[in-house]
Amino acid sequence: MATKKMNAFYAQSGGVTAVINASACGVIETARKHKDKIGKVYAGRNGIIGALTENLIDTTKESATAVAALRHTPSGGFGSCRYKLKSLEANKREYERLIEVFKAHNIGYFFYNGGGDSADTCYKVSQLSETLGYPVQAIHVPKTVDNDLPITDNCPGFGSVAKYIAVSTLEATYDVRSMCATSTKVFVLEVMGRHAGWIAAAGAMASSKDTELPIVVLFPEVLFDQKKFLAKVGSLVKKFGYCTVVVSEGCHYPDGKFLAEQGTRDAFGHAQLGGAAPVVANMIKDALGHKFHWAVADYLQRAARHIASKTDVKQAYELGKKAVELAVKGHNSVMPTVDRISDSPYKYKIGMADLKDVANVEKFMPRDFITKDGFGITPKCKRYLTPLIQGEDYPKYQDGLPVYVTLKNVAVAKKLPAFKL
């Protein structure tokens, strides 16, 4: 635990979201209230890379108004990166460099805002006081649209993507319903979710008891059965005259091959996905002859701050705030969590998990959240998802467009020799 006043380092990691900046706002505003323990908050320019290359941003140069505006600005205000620290044994120089930078800038607090890979990096940094004798308190601030971190009820970023996908599926299904008599009979929407089908599940929220809509969901958790899938689409088009398919980018065949696999890999070594929608759409055309349209939600789904979930924005801020509160109380190697108390009315509290229990653990959709046929969601899943997409938190608008902030991001003077990644 930092006994004297120390500076803090905050960084954004991995794919950004509509609400990651709300967590940044929570961290910075709360740190400013603890001036007895925390000096300056330095942000990493483009994530952890900013720490390694000593590219630090002085957030004290930002006005209270600019910091507050982060709460309703999408994407990463300080830049993000996909860069995973290897183990201490495999790459000691990176950790030694982190300590050099932390020492040079009197940094004793480390707040890392990201998903599964970031939790692993944060856990490794949290062990530095033991392994290399440098006292640093590392707190992970959860963020991932994939909603696949364990222990926490949900992850900031997910609720807003889920809302965007539910709304988009609803609106596009109304469109195809209008056109199906003479043209398009099937609309295919591809969504994010490499191993977990949480985002795809949100598409099924568009159908309700009052208005039943023919929606087929393809989950990564359910092995793709082409024959069964085509039979399902065929029966829905026969009954309704049209249908919508929501396919997760992680949907795969029994042999493990992704429908969307391109043969390339991202910086974390994961198979580069994207292209499931045209594969599925053409499959339907070839087998059933139906005219189709397809779309890939891609960055649109995670950048859509204009339709963010109020629940999501609130929790993103609260978890950033809690991270700082845990740090000043002396905690290390932990992550604040959302602990659900009840579904309806939706109640939760902000809890805490040990990072050793979070790092490298993925949370998949429970089987009882998916219908028996594997193409829809159960009432239990709907009860889980409903509160997460509740409420609107519209940004201010000017000249017809939302008003978002671009920070000054003033660089901190470097004190060390250059470092090659």
Mean pLDDT of 344-353: 97
Position 313, amino acid: V
- Residue 262 pLDDT > 90, yes or no? no
Query: Which of the residue ranges 7-11, 245-249, 268-272, 364-368 would you say has the lowest mean pLDDT?
Result: 268-272
- Residue 265 pLDDT > 90, yes or no? no
**Per-residue model confidence (pLDDT) at position 269:** 67
CA angle (64, 143, 395) in 5-degree steps: 45
**Per-residue model confidence (pLDDT) at position 221:** 96
**Per-residue model confidence (pLDDT) at position 273:** 58
In the predicted model, what is the mean pLDDT of the chain? 95
Mean pLDDT of 316-321: 98
- Residue 105 pLDDT > 60, yes or no? yes
pLDDT bracket for residue 272 (50, 70, 90): low
Tell me the percentage of the chain whose pLDDT exceeds 70: 96
Helix H, strand E, coil C: the string for the chain is CCCCCEEEEEEECCCCCCCHHHHHHHHHHHHHCCCCCEEEEEEECCCHHHHHCCCEEEHHHCCHHHHHHHHHCCCCCCCCCCCCCCCCCCCHHHHHHHHHHHHHCCEEEEEEEECHHHHHHHHHHHCHHHHCCCCCEEEEEECCCCCCCCCCCCCCCHHHHHHHHHHHHHHHHHHHHHHCCCCCCEEEEEECCCCCCHHHHHHHHHCCCCCCCCEEEECCCCCCCHHHHHHHHHHHHHHHCCEEEEEECCCECCCCCECCCCCCECCCCCECCCCHHHHHHHHHHHHHCCCEEEEECHHHHHHCHHHCEHHHHHHHHHHHHHHHHHHHCCCCCEEEEEEEEECCCCEEEEEEEEHHHCCCCCCCCCHHHECCCCCCECHHHHHHHHHHHCCECCCCEECCEECCCCCCCCECCCCCCCCCC
Mean pLDDT of 111-138: 91
CA angle (177, 181, 183) in 5-degree steps: 90
pLDDT bracket for residue 131 (50, 70, 90): confident
**Per-residue model confidence (pLDDT) at position 274:** 59
pLDDT tens track for 201-258: 999 999 998 999 999 999 999 999 999 999 999 999 999 999 999 999 999 999 998 9
**Per-residue model confidence (pLDDT) at position 194:** 83
Q: What domains does the chain contain, in order, with CATH numbers?
A: 6-144+306-360+391-402 (3.40.50.450), 158-302 (3.40.50.460)
Tell me the percentage of the chain whose pLDDT exceeds 90: 89
pLDDT bracket for residue 268 (50, 70, 90): low
- Residue 2 pLDDT > 60, yes or no? no
Residue written as tokens 């006005």? Answer: 63
What the block records as the tokens of 336 is: 């604040």
Count Cβ atoms below 10 Å from residue 64 Cβ, excluding itself.
Answer: 10
Mean pLDDT of 281-298: 96
Query: Which of the residue ranges 146-160, 201-215, 256-270 would you say has the lowest mean pLDDT?
Result: 256-270
**What residues are labeled active site?**
146
Mean pLDDT of 118-126: 92
